[in-house]
Amino acid sequence: MLTWNVLLMQVLNGLQWGLLLFLLSAGLTLVFGIMNFVNLTHGSLYMMGGYFGAYAYGQTHSFWLACMVAVVGAAIVGVLLDRLVAASLYSRDHLDQVLATFGLILIFNELVRIVWGGNTSVVNPPEMLTGSVEIFGLRYPLYRLMIIVVGLLVSGLLYFIIHRTRIGMLIRAGATNTKMVSALGVNIKRLNLIVFAAGALLAGLAGVLNAPISAIQPGMGEPILILALVVIVTGGIGSIKGAFYGALLIGMADMVGRAFLPIAMTEFFGRAAAQLTGPAIASMGIYLLMAIVLIARPQGLFGGRHA
């Protein structure tokens, strides 16, 4: 039975999931939009952030230190990837980029199995965030609320950087016309490195923040990479604004659909059939949503508007 509390819970969960997807998608859309580089290893950076955080947590039992290690570690891996692999692929076609970065996915998955084993790792939230808070009569987990707050703060910070700083001006210009920016004397290699490292840092942050909710395991980067690609295609490649609204739209549709579609189907097909097929159909909903957006706007919601 649908109640106000159930609806509010799923809306908040959708908001939390959408903002987590935004953290992952923001860097991916900039790398794709500015460098025209298809970086399939972005999900692996998310996974590495989770593993770095889990390792630091196991050694120190400090969640906040684990977050610091995760974002710094993911950023360092991103810098190494850019210098050692990606820089030599920027001028190649997308097929070469896809093949190379797909191979890196396999390498990263085997690497974490060698270093940390195949078992799942868990990071516990800090004690101060283990309770719940009342929101319009609903008791909502404090940790999930913290993810919402962090996602909003990061989105605000990115908006400020993109729209109010010189580096942001160069990023927006690079997303519009990379060749012209380079011709004007901008060190495009340095700009690419900054964007790649920032994207890796955000992916690592998303990985460690999601660790207390979803266990860390090898291969965890591929499913969420697919969602991140759906987000940036829906929102518009190269647009932070598009990544933000696309992530909220996809996150809300995914979470609310999984919660309520089986309930709705129960009225027509019975409980057993609804519980069996409802989640599968709901998971298809985000792709249907993406298709509808692309039919109306082939460039995505904010494609071509790098604002």
Query: Please, what is the Cα angle at 211 between 30 and 197, to 5 degrees?
Result: 25
DSSP 45-63: HHHHHHHHHHHHHHHH--H
- Taking the whole predicted model, whether its pTM rises above 0.75 is answered as yes
Kindly give, in sequence order, each residue whose CB lies less than 8 Å from that of residue 91, ignoring residues fewer than 6 positions away. none
DSSP 125-189: PPGGGSSEEEETTEEEEHHHHHHHHHHHHHHHHHHHHHHHSHHHHHHHHHHH-HHHHHHTT--HH
From the number of C-beta atoms within 10 Å of its C-beta (0-12, 13-18, 19+), residue 61 rates as exposed
- What pLDDT, on a 0 to 100 scale, did the predictor assign at position 304? 61
Report how far residue 177's alpha carbon sits from residue 171's, in angstroms, rounded to the nearest whole number: 10
Tell me, what DSSP letter sits at residue 216? B
Per-residue pLDDT of the chain (307 residues; tens, 9 = 90+): 457 677 788 889 999 999 999 999 988 888 887 777 888 999 999 999 999 999 999 899 899 999 999 999 999 999 999 999 888 888 888 899 999 999 999 999 999 999 998 888 888 888 888 888 888 878 889 999 999 999 999 999 998 988 888 888 887 777 667 777 777 777 778 888 888 999 999 999 999 999 999 889 999 999 999 999 999 999 988 888 889 999 999 998 888 777 777 777 776 776 776 677 777 777 788 898 999 999 998 888 887 655 5
DSSP 57-123: HHHH--HHHHHHHHHHHHHHHHHHHHHHTGGGTTTS-HHHHHHHHHHHHHHHHHHHHHHH-SS-B--
Tell me, what DSSP letter sits at residue 278? H
- What pLDDT, on a 0 to 100 scale, did the predictor assign at position 29? 87
- What pLDDT, on a 0 to 100 scale, did the predictor assign at position 150? 94
Query: Please, what is the Cα angle at 77 between 71 and 80, to 5 degrees?
Result: 140
The secondary element (H helix, E strand) that includes residue 192 is helix 188-210
Report how far residue 246's alpha carbon sits from residue 234's, in angstroms, rounded to the nearest whole number: 6
Q: Tokens 């684990």 — which residue?
A: 66
Q: Tokens 């790792």 — which residue?
A: 121
Please check whether residue 34 is in contact with residue 191, taking contact to mean a CB–CB distance below 8 angstroms: yes
Residue 185 falls in which region: left (phi positive, over 0), alpha (psi -120 to 50) or beta: left
Please check whether residue 238 is in contact with residue 177, taking contact to mean a CB–CB distance below 8 angstroms: no
